[in-house]
A and B are shown apart, each in its own frame.
Chain A
Amino acid sequence: MVNQMKFLRQYWLILSIILLAVILVLIRTYCHNFRYDAVRWAEPSVHGTNILTKDQIVAMNSDILLITLGNEDPAIENLQDKILKLNPESIIEKTNLSLIKKNKGPVILFSDDNSVSARVWMVLSEMGIKNVYILRDDSKNELP
Chain B
Amino acid sequence: MNGIHDMGGLQDMGPVRIEKDEPVFHAPWEGRVYAMYNAIDGGWPAGSGRYERELIPPAEYLRMSYYERWLHSLSELLVKNGLVTRAELASGTAAGGNDKGRKVLHAAQVRATIARGFSSRRDVPAVAQFHVGERVRARNLNPTGHTRLPRYVRGRAGTIASDHGVFVFNDSLVQGHGESPQHVYSVRFAARELWGSDAPAHDSVYVDLWDEHLEPA
A and B physically associate:
no
Chain B residues with CB under 8 Å of chain A are none
Chain A residues with CB under 8 Å of chain B are none
